[in-house]
Structure 1
Amino acid sequence: MNASTDSSSPRAIDTRAIERAVRRMAQAAEPPWLHAEAARRMAEKLPMIRRTPEAVLQWSGFLGASEALLREAYPHAQQLVVEPALVRRERAAPVPAPWWSPRRWAGAAPAAEPLAEEAVTPGSVQLLWSNMALQGQADPTALFAQWHRALAVDGFLMFSTFGPGTLAELRTLYRERGWGSPMAEFVDMHDLGDMLVAAGFADPVMDQEVLHLNWADAAAALAELRGLGANADTRRVAGLRTPRWQQRLVDALQALGSSDGRPALSFELVYGHAFKAAPRPRVAAHTEVGLDEMRQMVRSRRSP
């Protein structure tokens, strides 16, 4: 989906490919590095929230890589997390942290108990936080509606996702060589803003930034890309690629490098912010007001 796509239409993505990628990421000892970096950058925007939330809800806890940041920002808030069933199953058996991981040495607070989506009480949280989970959704508008129900009135939403500028170099490479599509299209931030309004959110604000990452070689770049997801485009080339083709891909990626020979790729990070306004009464074309109700309205206007 891009800026020219109808923002009300679900995305054409292969949900089974998404599930395989999520399962693979959930089996890792740590969430992807880029997810943690996006969380850190989004947390820098938390001071814009004037009210201190009593309850914070993370949508996708492990892969969001945000728990420590949110506990530090709101140490007295109730911390809740919605974890997809697939991730809950994969994370049921604890994975030992590597010897270098801070988790082995820091006495952090215990992780919040993961909840299913249907277990969230409507209107129960003041901050809903979703880091790098939206790009795997076929119908973002439906997910926005779920988030809207979970938030209390005047509650705040913050989320991040990949934008359509992500891996632009890889898209160009595939197109020039006739290799099909390397990944599903990501949603443009203007479309996301329209979807937020359609779901009932008020005053959505969207912004983005582009990260340019370098790797030691093409093999390292491909290894990290596999850890970030999968090709969920329904138009991708069917069947398996040959070793000869994979070598051509490695050579082409290596050629994308700068003067030092290090391959470089771009990632567009999109950030969204909105709040849940108080519901407004619907006004019909013809409205009847009783005499007693009219008297009460007049009295309320006269009272200091």
Structure 2
Amino acid sequence: MTDDSDFHLDWRLVRANFDASAARYDEVAVLQREVGTRLLERLDLVKLAPRAVLDLGCGTGVGTRALLDRYPRALVTGLDLAPAMCALTRARSRWLRKVRAVCADAARLPLADDSVDLVFSNFTLQWCSDLDRVFAEVRRVLRPNGLLLFTTLGPDTLHELRAAWATVDDRVHVNAFTDMHDIGDALLRARLADPVMDVERFTLTYPQVRTLMQDLKVLGAHNVSAGRTRGLTGPRRLAAMIAAYERWRRDGQLPATYEIVYGHAWAPAQKLVQADAGGVVHVPLSQLRRPRS
């Protein structure tokens, strides 16, 4: 039987899906916009005047533009794995000189060390296979005392759809998502300071399961696991899954649960010194202090 420990993302499929969905993404991204707005509001609680901001996983550029509106003096970079999403970000802010869009992998940021004051990431980390690498890259590009602020999806997301498919077969049909505590552990391993996380649950309703599945496809959020079933699902299996989903119908509607994990962490005030490949430690003069007598 397949379980979440066997789940691995196919990054090529992730990129292809979001490329294909870019043109219609904003039509159905209701939850993404609402959560993005709530994430932006959390910046009201911190004193931050960033010179450089990174919108990690910028999508169509909604958050990128909102970040520039909030910090008009900052250079805002939108970064996304999908070229079509980057193109929409450029189009949305084409008259704004302080916005740029870069197509790149979150685990290989094409940015200099200590070059960003704020990394903002809404609904992106769930599509990253290696959180350790992503958080290490975030820490690398953040300036001392820089802030990482993010949302991602927790394991309770789409539990109804996952359970309905489980009555049909033991194959991977729904993406797996990382538990909040495991995300916190990854932040600590990356030596990001004072991580704080909390969870909020949203329930969207649909008249039919097919409507939910269509929305997931437009969002680029349908099954992107390396262990997914290849080819089309047979009509009998699909019909059996749809019938199993009916157990959750209330007041004529079918629910789809989303577990939203909010988190933030800070770059340390001083970058920790590490040894190079030869075991030699390089210490900046700025970190040397004469011992007190």
Q: Which residue of 2 is the match for residue 245 of structure 1? A: 237
Backbone CA RMSD of aligned residues: 3.1
DSSP 3-state at the match of 2:172: coil
CA distance in 2, matches of 1:248, 1:162: 27
Q: What is the TM-score with the length of structure 2 in the denominator? A: 0.80
1:222-241 equivalent positions in 2, closer than 5 A: 222-228=213-219, 229-241=221-233
Q: Which moved more, 1:229-238 or 1:141-150?
A: 229-238
Which digits, 9 at most, give the CA deviation of each residue in 1:119-158, with x for residues without a partner?
3221111111111111111111101111111110000001
Q: Which residue of 1 is the match for residue 102 of structure 2? A: 115
Q: CA 1:11 to 1:195, structure 2 compared with 1: closer, same or farther past 3 Å?
A: farther
1:187 and 2:184 matched? no
How big is the shift at 1:94?
9.2
Which one of the candidate residues 124, 141, 144 is aligned to 1:150?
A: 141
In structure 1, list runs of 5 or more residues that go unmatched: 97-102, 283-294, 300-304
Count of aligned pairs between the two proteins: 269
1:199 and 2:190 matched? yes
How big is the shift at 1:244?
3.8
Q: Which residue of 2 is the match for residue 289 of structure 1? A: none
1:32-181 equivalent positions in 2, closer than 5 A: 32-63=29-60, 65-84=62-81, 87-88=82-83, 92=87, 109=96, 112-117=99-104, 118-178=109-169, 180-181=171-172
How big is the shift at 1:217?
3.0
CA distance in 2, matches of 1:91, 1:81: 7
Which one of the candidate residues 269, 272, 297 is aligned to 2:291?
A: 297
Q: CA 1:71 to 1:267, structure 2 compared with 1: closer, same or farther past 3 Å?
A: same
How big is the shift at 1:190?
0.6
Q: Which residue of 1 is the match for residue 206 of structure 2? A: 215
Rg larger in structure: 1
1:18-37 equivalent positions in 2, closer than 5 A: 18-28=14-24, 30=26, 32-37=29-34
CA contact 1:17–1:231 (8 Å) conserved in 2: no
DSSP 3-state at the match of 1:45: helix
Which digits, 9 at most, give the CA deviation of each residue in 1:135-183, with x for residues without a partner?
1111111011111111100000011111101011111112233353322
CA contact 1:201–1:275 (8 Å) conserved in 2: yes
Which one of the candidate residues 13, 16, 31 is aligned to 2:9?
A: 13
- Aligned partner letter, 2:111: V
Q: CA 1:148 to 1:218, structure 2 compared with 1: closer, same or farther past 3 Å?
A: same
CA contact 2:164–2:242 (8 Å) conserved in 1: no
Q: Which moved more, 1:53-62 or 1:146-155?
A: 53-62
CA contact 2:60–2:88 (8 Å) conserved in 1: no
How big is the shift at 1:109?
4.6
Q: CA 1:199 to 1:63, structure 2 compared with 1: closer, same or farther past 3 Å?
A: farther
Which digits, 9 at most, give the CA deviation of each residue in 1:67-121, with x for residues without a partner?
232123222222122232xx2256548999xxxxxx7xx9985682212555322
- Aligned partner letter, 1:137: C
Q: CA 1:19 to 1:81, structure 2 compared with 1: closer, same or farther past 3 Å?
A: closer
CA contact 2:57–2:122 (8 Å) conserved in 1: yes
DSSP 3-state at the match of 1:113: strand
- Percent of aligned pairs with the same residue? 29
CA distance in 2, matches of 1:93, 1:198: 34
Q: CA 1:253 to 1:63, structure 2 compared with 1: closer, same or farther past 3 Å?
A: farther
Q: What is the TM-score with the length of structure 1 in the denominator? A: 0.77
Q: Which moved more, 1:238-247 or 1:261-270?
A: 238-247
How big is the shift at 1:200?
1.7
Q: CA 1:126 to 1:92, structure 2 compared with 1: closer, same or farther past 3 Å?
A: closer
CA distance in 2, matches of 1:68, 1:193: 28
1:258-273 equivalent positions in 2, closer than 5 A: 258=250, 260-273=251-264
CA distance in 1, matches of 2:75, 2:222: 34
